[in-house]
Amino acid sequence: MRIVFAGTPEFAVPSLIAAARRNEVVAVYTQPDRPAGRGRALTPSPVKRAAVERGIEVFQPGSLKSQVSRDALAALRPDLLVVVAYGLILPKSILAIPKFGCWNVHASLLPRWRGAAPIQRAIEAGDTGTGVCLMQMEAGLDTGPVLLSQPLDIGPDETGGQLHDRLAELGAQVLSDGLGLLRAGMRPVPQPQPAEGVTYAHKLDKAEAKLDWSQPAQVLANKVRAFNPWPMAEAMVAGERLRIHAAVALPRERDAAPGTLLAAGRDGLDVACGEGALRIRTLQRDGGKAITAADFLNARRDLQVPRGA
């Protein structure tokens, strides 16, 4: 087969490696290089770096809506276009070019969590399970029929970053399974998505990272997990802005206004919430690195608040 691969972030790299295992990827599409780092130097995407390492030709159009873009893809004579977190809209005219259409690896069990941030939204919502779908693409947003799927449990303390890495590997496996069937002449049968259970995983916004202590502790604990490593939850604690890397929800033993520091010890900082309390276990001060609550209290001895005080 002649496969064209379209993807951009680190999540897509395992799928690119899987698709290229038999040297069938004739070209890679990825987003243009972006400024990054303190020097704002133009930086290639993880997918571009992986493609260059494997000697695969790379295309980086800013859009796929022009006739020039359509002609360039058609000239590659693709049997299949595999799309994994590409980040650009594919018009119907592009979807119609490959012989077997376009496949998408999506990090949820559709129709739950269509959209840009399915991994983080699943954790934020308190889901205990998720998975990967291999979907036949159509014009709608993640509305196409599902070819293959594989479920995955979400660990009770799992962060967005940890789940991202596991789903990236699972996505590569599901894609490999689909390609194996296609090579053997057993094209996966498209199954329409059910009309019930549709939810949308809207793109993450840095403004969401600011925790609101009036919310229930479990809601905030889910946000802390979901937003690690980005955009990373943050809140004011004892007059200091902290980025919160790890925290758990607890029942609250006494009445206090949301945001009140209830207790501070080596096992964490307990902050009153609208319901329950949030125990902050790992945190980061402005300009610092991630540290335990115990290390933080060594520097803030004024915060030694005994439990039950």
Q: Which residues are annotated as a binding site for (6S)-5,6,7,8-tetrahydrofolate?
A: 108-111
Distance, CA of 165 to CA of 29 (rounded, Å): 22
CB environment 161-198: b (16+ within 10 A), e (fewer): ebbbebbbebbbebbbbbbeebeeeeebeeeebeeeee
> In this structure, what is the dihedral angle of CA atoms 54, 57, 59, 64, given to the nearest 10 degrees?
-110
DSSP code of 194?
A: P
End-to-end CA distance of the chain: 69
Q: How far is residue 36 from each of residues 39, 43, 45, 100, measured CA to CA in Å?
A: 7, 6, 10, 36
Best CA proximity match to 125, nearest among 66, 27, 35, 197 = 197
CB atoms within 10 A of CB 88: 19
Q: Are 6 and 29 in contact (CB under 8 A)?
A: yes
Annotated binding residues, written as ranges, equal 108-111
Q: What angle do CA 271, 156, 244 make, to 5 degrees?
A: 35
DSSP element (H, E) containing 85:
none
